[in-house]
Chain A
Amino acid sequence: MTATRQSIFARLRATPAVDWLIVRMREAPVLAYLVGMLAAVGLEIVAGRFIARALGLRGLPVLFGTIDVLEHFGNLDLSGILGPLFPATTETVVAPLAQSGAALIDQLLTFLSDIPPALLKLLQVTVYNLIVFGVPIVGLGVLLTQPAYWLMKRLPRWVGMLLQFAVLYAVVRLWGATNDYRGLVLMYIGINVILSVSLNLVNGYMGEFSVGHGGFMAVGAYVSAILTMWLFINEDVFGPALLPWVVNLPLGIGQGVGFVLALFIGGIASAVVSLLVAIPSFRTRGDYLAIVTLALNFIVLAAVNNMDSIGGARGLNGVPLWSNVAWVFVFAVLSVLAVHNLVTSTFGKGIIAIREDEIAADIMSVDTKRVKLVAFMFSSFLAGIAGGLFGHVLAYVNPGTFGILKSTEVLVMVYLGGMGSITGSIVAALIFTILLEALRPLGVLKWVFIPLILILLMIYRPQGLFGNREITLNLGFRGRKDEEPGERPDREVGDAALAD
């Protein structure tokens, strides 16, 4: 099965035209692709609806058509099958069984009848995605290769980086602008990027096993939400704002100042809570941290559930809607850069050394206790920030959101992307968030598919999508002398050279 599939790919790869394209695509720097994405998003805004109609779609495919395809299966209902098996009275067995069987056949027929329209839709959205995204991105990426190199070679390094982030932001912003729902998904993606990258620091780079990221998120969410409500706005829970003048600062910067302040304090609170866990846990190695972080997740939620002054189990209503795509983008980028800077510094390499061999790290002058604490607290700090952003998305925080399910989602993203790969975590956060949204039409069945995906992943690719490797981004700085000292991706090329 795999052999034939590989040979098809190999045959495709051997075609001169495809080979030419792949070589050109490898050559193209990130900036060229980003410009391509910008063009694609622009094209969608201008002609997306027209193209979609022409292809027979009802409207613009919201998340690359994933929802459009899966919504055909939306009327599957397995409760009709399991329900009769647990009758209220245990008088008969036969009738409920027959009922279940009938329901099963019924659902099977529904499923089968759903397949053809779903396949048609799949074809339609694939063509749509190719026209609107595939062609402009690949085409402009290849066409703009030389101009992009030309530009990147002449710009100072930081200007080049800033330019790329600016174009990326424009892409994100324009893509999200067509539809409110897209904006929401973008915010979830950004928040999930922060969460998965930060958990990867502990589970991937440090090799410890923390499973209670939801708990740290909850601390950040509640602390920052309480702060913004209590200090900056008038609402019903805490009454009039304590420091209303902050929000009234000139030029409209007040809200930003207040929000950032609240987020940071939320993050710091989360880091402080993590310290309480870390001090006893890091005395030993291994599963201990997993148990303690799991317990902490429950403790935090139990504490919140029992605090009536902040809403208890009902949740906290009236949180200002201060999160937006821009803020989430900024914090996601900063988090990624921060973790990247950390793990490429000598200080941060000490974290990886602890994973590889803790005794050797200790003997080679790494203050392992301190490094572990710093890494764990920093990870929790970022989780707290992500929680704060999350709390300000829906104007409502409630303890149920930050349960073990949330923690598991973050774990899944880390393992999907690969332990110790920042780019892996980012891609996984992107894929997983879209997947969660796309599977929404399936209702409860979503929670059958997601564990199934995880199981398949563990069987066929236990190291995650990217293992502990990074996708080497071709930033177009090639041939420049001012490469930073710490920034050497672990290249496989060197290993190949040794084998020669």
Chain B
Amino acid sequence: MAREDWTYVCEVDELIPDTGACALVNNEQVAIFWEKKSNQLFALSNFDPVGLANVISRGILGSLGEELVVASPLYKQHFSLVTGQCIEDPQYCLKTYPVRRIDGKVQLKISKIIAR
């Protein structure tokens, strides 16, 4: 059975504009970005499916055309911040998570698989 909930991650002012941070939520590594010009938060899986390491949060943010993207720090593929889709190689798509700011706090929605 799956239950969906907003989970507290950190204070908004712990994030630094135009960079990312990684949160551990329910055993999942989630990269959270604060894109400054659009003033939006985005959350994606922190695992780089090409480089096979937990590094997405350390990528550079930017735009390609209209698409807001993060570039993997390992081999520089771009992933859409909105959809998680890899621009260079359609076979890769990062999991995305709903994320919000509320009362100066950052919250994330994660589908918890209640196991055991």
Q: Do A and B come from one complex?
A: no
